[in-house]
Amino acid sequence: MEDAKRQGFKAALRETKNLPTLPGIVVKLTRMADDPDSTTEQMGRVLSKDHILAAKLLMLVNSAFYGFPQRISSLSSAMILLGFNVVKSLIISASIFEMMEKQDVELWEHSLGCAVVCNVVAKRIGVEEPEEVSTAGLIHDIGKVAIKMELPQEYAKITRLMQERKITMRQAELEVLGLDHAEAGAWLTKIWNLPPRLIEPIGCHHDPLQAKAEQLSSAIIHFSDILIRGMGYGHAGDDKVPKLDKQAWELLGLSQEDIDQVIDEVEEKLWEVKGFSLEIQAEAEAPDSAAKS
Amino acid sequence: MQQILCSQAREGMVLAKDIMTPEGRVLCGKGTPLTTSLLSRLEKMDMVYVTVEGHPIEVPGEKTLQQELQETEERFSNVTKIAPLMYIKKRILQKLVDSRR
Query: pLDDT tens-digit profile of A139-173?
Result: 899 889 888 888 889 999 999 999 999 889 999 99
Based on the domain organization, do B48 and B70 belong to the same domain? no
Closest by CA to B31, choosing from B45, B51, B46, is B51
Contacts of A267 (CB under 8 A, 6+ apart): A231, B95
Domains and CATH numbers, chain A: 20-97 (no CATH), 102-278 (1.10.3210.10)
Q: Do B88 and A229 touch (CB under 8 A)?
A: no
Q: Of how many residues is chain A composed?
A: 293
Q: What is the pLDDT of residue A293?
A: 40
Type of residue numbered B4: I
The residue in chain A having the minimum alpha-carbon distance to the alpha carbon of residue B81 is A243
The residue in chain B having the minimum alpha-carbon distance to the alpha carbon of residue A168 is B78
* Average pLDDT for B65-71: 92
Cα gap A201→A219, rounded to integer Å: 8
Q: What is the pLDDT of residue A290?
A: 41
Range in A59-63, A176-180, A280-284, B83-87 the model is least confident about: A280-284
End-to-end Cα, chain B, rounded Å: 8
Q: Is residue B78 domain-resident?
A: yes
Q: Is residue B17 domain-resident?
A: yes
Q: Do A259 and B87 touch (CB under 8 A)?
A: yes
φ and ψ of B19, to 5 deg: -100, 125
Nearest to B87 among A241, A256, A271 (CB): A256
Task: Let me know: does A171 contact A192? Beta carbons within 8 Å.
Answer: no
Work out the percent of chain A whose per-residue pLDDT is above 70.
79
Question: Chain B interface residues facing chain A, Cβ-Cβ under 8 Å?
Answer: 3, 17, 51, 68, 71-72, 74-79, 82, 84-85, 87-89, 91-92, 95
Q: Is residue B8 domain-resident?
A: yes
Q: Is residue B79 domain-resident?
A: yes
Q: What is the pLDDT of residue A150?
A: 84
Cα gap B36→B34, rounded to integer Å: 7
Grouping H, G, I as helix, E, B as strand and the rest as coil, residue A29 is helix
Q: Is residue B57 domain-resident?
A: no
Q: What is the pLDDT of residue A109?
A: 82
Say how many C-beta atoms besides its own lie within 10 A of residue A255's C-beta. Answer: 8
pLDDT digits (tens, 9 = 90+) for A244-291: 999 999 999 999 999 999 999 998 888 766 655 555 555 555 544 444
Which of residues A192 and A168 earns the better pLDDT score? A168
| Greatest alpha-carbon span in chain A | 59
Based on the domain organization, do B69 and B40 belong to the same domain? no
Q: Would the CA dihedral through A163, A165, A169, A174 be positive or negative?
A: negative
What is the pLDDT confidence band of residue A200, given thresholds at 50, 70 and 90? very high
Q: What is the pLDDT of residue A282?
A: 55
Which of residues A191 and A65 earns the better pLDDT score? A191
Cβ-in-10-Å burial (0-12, 13-18, 19+) of A153 comes to: exposed
Q: A51-62 and A256-285 helices cross at what angle (nearest 10)?
A: 160
Q: Is residue B60 domain-resident?
A: no
Based on the domain organization, do B75 and B36 belong to the same domain? no
Which among B80, B85, B96, B98 is the top mutation candidate for probing chain A, defined by the most A β-carbons within 10 Å of its own β-carbon? B85
Cα gap B81→B87, rounded to integer Å: 11
Based on the domain organization, do B42 and B69 belong to the same domain? no
**In the predicted structure, residue A17 carries a pLDDT above the cut 80:** no
Q: What is the pLDDT of residue A285?
A: 55
DSSP for B35-94, written as a single string: -HHHHHHHHHTT--EEEESS--SPPTTPPPHHHHHHHHHHHTTT-TT-HHHHHHHHHHHH
Task: Let me know: does A115 contact A134? Beta carbons within 8 Å.
Answer: yes
Closest by CA to A189, choosing from A24, A22, A7, is A22
pLDDT digits (tens, 9 = 90+) for A111-130: 888 988 999 999 999 998 88
Say how many C-beta atoms besides its own lie within 10 A of residue B92's C-beta. Answer: 21
CB pairs under 8 A between A and B: 54
Q: Is residue B58 domain-resident?
A: no
Q: A215-230 and A105-125 helices cross at what angle (nearest 10)?
A: 130
The Cα of A90 is separated from the nearest Cα of chain B by a number of Å equal to: 26
* Average pLDDT for A173-192: 89
Based on the domain organization, do B48 and B11 belong to the same domain? yes
pLDDT digits (tens, 9 = 90+) for A65-106: 666 666 666 777 777 777 776 777 777 776 666 666 666 778
Task: Let me know: does B70 contact B27? Beta carbons within 8 Å.
Answer: no
Q: Is residue B59 domain-resident?
A: no
Based on the domain organization, do B43 and B11 belong to the same domain? yes
CATH of the domain at B28: 3.90.105.10
Partner B contacted by A267 (CB < 8 A): yes
The Cα of B75 is separated from the nearest Cα of chain A by a number of Å equal to: 5
Q: What is the number of domains present in chain B?
A: 2
Based on the domain organization, do B41 and B77 belong to the same domain? no
Which pTM value belongs to this model? 0.80
The residue in chain B having the minimum alpha-carbon distance to the alpha carbon of residue A245 is B82
Based on the domain organization, do B85 and B45 belong to the same domain? no
Q: What is the pLDDT of residue A291?
A: 40
Q: A256-285 and A84-103 helices cross at what angle (nearest 10)?
A: 70
Based on the domain organization, do B11 and B33 belong to the same domain? yes
Cα gap A106→A169, rounded to integer Å: 15
Based on the domain organization, do B42 and B79 belong to the same domain? no
Domain that holds residue B75: 65-100
Contacts of A284 (CB under 8 A, 6+ apart): A98, A101
Based on the domain organization, do B15 and B41 belong to the same domain? yes
Work out the percent of chain B whose per-residue pLDDT is above 90.
41
Q: Of how many residues is chain B composed?
A: 101
Based on the domain organization, do B46 and B12 belong to the same domain? yes
Q: Do B91 and A260 touch (CB under 8 A)?
A: yes
* Kind of pairing between the strands at B49-52 and B2-5: antiparallel
